[in-house]
Amino acid sequence: FPVGDTQKVLSEAIKDSVPVADIFYAFSALKNLGLQVDNAKVTSALTEALKKDDSPQSAGYGFFVASQLTGDTKKIFDSIEDVVAQADEVDDKYLQFEGGLYTTALVVDGAYKLAAKEKKAPTMSDDKVVKFANYFLSRKHVHQLRAAYQLVSVIKTLTDNQFHIPVAITLASPVAVTSSSPNVKVQVTNLLGGSIGSLTVTADSAKHISSEAIVLSKKPFTSKDSSTYELNFMQAKPVRGFYKIIISAKPSKEDKKLLGLTGAEVEVKVTTQVSIENVEIGVADKDQTTAARTTKVQYPGKASTVFEADYHQKIIVKFQLKDKADGTKMSAHQTFLKLTNQKTNQEIIFVADAASNKFDLDIGSSAGQFGHLSGKYSMELIIGDAVIENPFSWALGEVNLNFPEGQTPKDKGLDRYAKKPEIKHLFREPEKRPAAVVSTVFTFLVLAPVLILVLLWMKIGVNVSNFPMSLSAVGFHLCLAAIFGLYYLYWVELNMFQTVRYLGLLALPTFIFGNRLLSGIASKRKGEKKV
């Protein structure tokens, strides 16, 4: 591998005014190529660069470089504490730097590598390390490739460094704990899932999440293999529901390095089988609260007679759910009554009243949902819940529903996803205009009075011969004609601004000519009068 100028280029890249990242890359390249490195120069360049830029990311690069330098890097090592103090705590559980996953992983990884060189634990408190570890474990979905690389690197460092090894306690059995599988299994390992030696694992407490009852305390787990531990949870006879188990572990050999050994939380749910009893089905009138006659049905049988109900009445279904494990009454999240039209297979589902476990089906008011289709419907009761192991759908019987005739069944209900009918846009129809003939006739009619005017003027004897052939007269009349010509242009194509401008231009000569003409006429008239 010809080295050539590489040594020169890389060494010269490390100077006093260069950013930390550049120093890191040049230095690592030199080290990887096995080339000569001027340690003193690198140290001074690094210290300068770190003084100028104290962001966590640069600090991380600085740690990496320092961990491979020979010489005094104590100052950089001491800065670990300050850099870690810049991290933000989230939710009381996570610790991260503003730069995100890459920066956080870079800093932590670099700190441990430098610590390994200095043979001193990095100045980070235990709970800070645990919070960093929580953060790394929560970022399993990574966006950048370099962040992925750095994440893997830091996790590895956190499993095999000499100072802090965070311990992960994870649930290894299915979340549901039942009487048939009563054991809760946990794995106690380092961050990569490797064994950390033998430990005694104890369940400090198990709390029911909704009722806050404590079910057990200080029960030990039995060790199944080097990292798996087991506890028979059902021995404590827990009530069905969700539980939080708090676990702590103690290594059999005292190991100061292990962190996060107490306060680990694991969530399980205890499920149970449900039995349904005292099922009564009845048909009552709308205003009654209980049915006069009810039919009792036993699970999983079916009612022998077909019920009859019409739209004045309502169907009442009552039942009771019992926890098979301890015989207590229980309620389920999903209690549905499904009626299926036997001819059209249309299903209509109703929800029971959760508190009283009763269905009150008013046929009249829910007629719309049935589409007003009378006929035989089969009834099914559906029971389910997160903690019920044996949810079921039970065919109770059949009912004949009668809706008043004549109601138009609602049309199949426009298929929501089919094409909607096309909307035809009607442009505004233009107003009706009169026939062209009419307009033309009237145009001439309107212009006709001009002829009348001319006639009348001739009859009166208009004095056209007295027209003074002076410039002003001609000019005045021409300008006036021009103004009205301008108006015609305005109508046809000009806009107001142009018209007013031209008008202004024309107004001047018009005024001058007019003034002169009229004053001429006036003086002539006065002259005549005087005479």
Partner 1 sequence: MSKRGDTSAALKSAPSENLVSVLKKFYDEYMTSTSKRLKIVDAYLVYILFTGVIQFVYCALVGTFPFNSFLSGFISTVGSFVLAVCLRLQVNPQNKTDFVGISPERAFADFIFAHVILHLVVINFIG
The residues binding partner 1 (CB under 8 A) are: 431-434, 438-439, 442, 445-446, 448-450, 452-453, 456-457, 460-463, 480, 483-484, 487-488, 490-491, 496, 499, 503, 507, 514-515, 518-519, 521-522, 525
Closest CB to partner 1 among 292 and 452? 452
Q: Is 29 helix (H, G, I), strand (E, B) or coil?
A: helix
Compute the least distance from the CB of residue 431 to partner 1, in Å.
Answer: 5
Sheet with 183-190: strands ordered across: 222-223, 228-232, 183-190, 165-171, 258-259
Closest CB to partner 1 among 292 and 460? 460
Task: Report d(CA 84, CA 97) in Å as an integer.
Answer: 9
Closest CB to partner 1 among 408 and 466? 466
Closest CB to partner 1 among 176 and 441? 441
Closest CB to partner 1 among 395 and 483? 483
Compute the least distance from the CB of residue 428 to partner 1, in Å.
Answer: 13
Task: Report d(CA 68, CA 160) in Å as an integer.
Answer: 18
Task: Report d(CA 334, CA 356) in Å as an integer.
Answer: 13
| Cβ–Cβ < 8 Å for 220, 200 | yes
Closest CB to partner 1 among 43 and 472? 472
| Cβ–Cβ < 8 Å for 376, 398 | yes
Compute the least distance from the CB of residue 485 to partner 1, in Å.
Answer: 11
Compute the least distance from the CB of residue 489 to partner 1, in Å.
Answer: 10
Closest CB to partner 1 among 254 and 493? 493
| Cβ–Cβ < 8 Å for 64, 110 | yes
Task: Report d(CA 315, CA 375) in Å as an integer.
Answer: 15
**DSSP 8-state secondary structure symbol assigned to residue 494:** -
Compute the least distance from the CB of residue 490 to partner 1, in Å.
Answer: 5
3-state secondary structure 475-492: HHHHHHHHHHHHHHHHHH
| Cβ–Cβ < 8 Å for 307, 339 | no
Compute the least distance from the CB of residue 425 to partner 1, in Å.
Answer: 23
Farthest CA pair distance, the chain: 147
Other C-beta atoms closer than 10 Å to the C-beta of 118 total 17
Q: Hey, what amino acid is at 299?
A: Y
Closest CB to partner 1 among 192 and 456? 456
Task: Report d(CA 524, CA 304) in Å as an integer.
Answer: 128
Compute the least distance from the CB of residue 369 to partner 1, in Å.
Answer: 54
Compute the least distance from the CB of residue 445 to partner 1, in Å.
Answer: 5
88, β-bridge pairs: 96
Sheet with 294-297: strands ordered across: 294-297, 274-285, 313-323, 358-362
